[in-house]
Amino acid sequence: MIWLRWLLFPFTILYMIIIWTRNRLYDHHILKSKSFDFPTIVIGNLAIGGTGKSPMTEFLIRLLKDKHTLATLSRGYGRKTNGFRYVSESSSAEEVGDEPLQFKRKFPTVTVSVSEDRCFGIEQLKATHDIILLDDAFQHRKLQPSFSILLFDYRSIDKLPLLLPTGNYRDMMMESHRADVLIVTKSPAEIRPDERSNIEKRLRKHNQTAPIYFTHIQYNTGIDAKGRLFTGDLSDTDVLLITGIANPAPLIQYLSPLVNRLVHMPFADHHTFSSLDIQKIEEMYKGITNTKKIFLTTEKDFQRLDYTPLHQYPFYYIPIEIGFEEGCQHIFETKIFDHINEYIPSK
């Protein structure tokens, strides 16, 4: 299919012209951006999906929720509703999107909301919250955030940053100049100095001042729908892995040496699972002859696979968190708190 994407290169050129023009109109204030007098922190990326925005959002929720009245605001990608909505633990992914639902179920005391129009969403939240985290809003130029965190996937950062539809970028690398922090996600726990230098040089072409941090994924123990941890031995267990995420490769790489056999059923990012999908998944599971077998999926996919027949089987999701290089987490946290303290007296 790569050749087909290159056939669409003329559309990439057209898209680049449109995106470049739109950004310059905002930069020169011909199109207006709105700012607010309290912290509005954006977590975003330039490519489509798979850079770890959700784990970064959850990291910031954990960091801030006990010190401030916090809300998260997302577009609610994949939902079948429109407009501003509050997310409840009983919401469905079709109503609010899988990632906001995941945030709410994991942090029930935090306000979670969705709105295509981020400025309108902030207007609904500002009277009762002193910080708003905006998941995936770097391209929402109608908003002038107080602070922007821009994520780059380690595995793809050295690839040619072509725009859609030929490439996977929805915005140009030059737009990274607007970010206050650059974070390289899904890195190895230890990075060779030459690799680090090459990545930093690439990012410094467009942003000379923002600090650069490297993070990696930390996988936790599998959890089922009732909150029970998986206590078995994976080494003699066959795992049917179901993913509907943009980049399942790191998860596959992590699981493969731990399990007896890994069977992967991939679906598109934010895939809505139909009854036929569930039937095929169930048939695949029944076809595994090992008596020690489980379902495993991502936490995000779990929100869309809730209330399905799959839960009659051993069915777990694997939560993830981000880990910083040694000594860097405190520096990053201090930068976040310093920014917040510009608006809000330290608590």
Could you read off the pLDDT of 61-118 as tens digits, one per residue? 999 999 999 999 999 998 999 999 999 999 999 999 999 999 999 999 999 999 999 9
CB atoms within 10 A of CB 190: 7
Which CATH superfamily, name and number, covers 2-216+323-341? P-loop containing nucleotide triphosphate hydrolases (3.40.50.300)
Q: How high is the pLDDT of residue 9?
A: 93
Contacts with 294 (C-beta within 8 Å, 6 or more apart), sequence order: 222, 230, 232, 237, 238, 239, 240, 313, 314, 315, 316
| Mean pLDDT value across residues 261-289 | 95
> What is the percent of the chain where pLDDT is above 70?
99
Q: Which of 10, 11, 62, 70 is nearest to 38 (CA)?
A: 70
**pLDDT value at 59 more than 90:** yes
Cβ-contact 96, 114 below 8 angstroms:
yes
**What pLDDT is stored for residue 198 in this prediction?**
95
pLDDT band at 347 (very low <50, low <70, confident <90, very high): low
Predicted structure pTM score? 0.94
pLDDT at position 281: 96
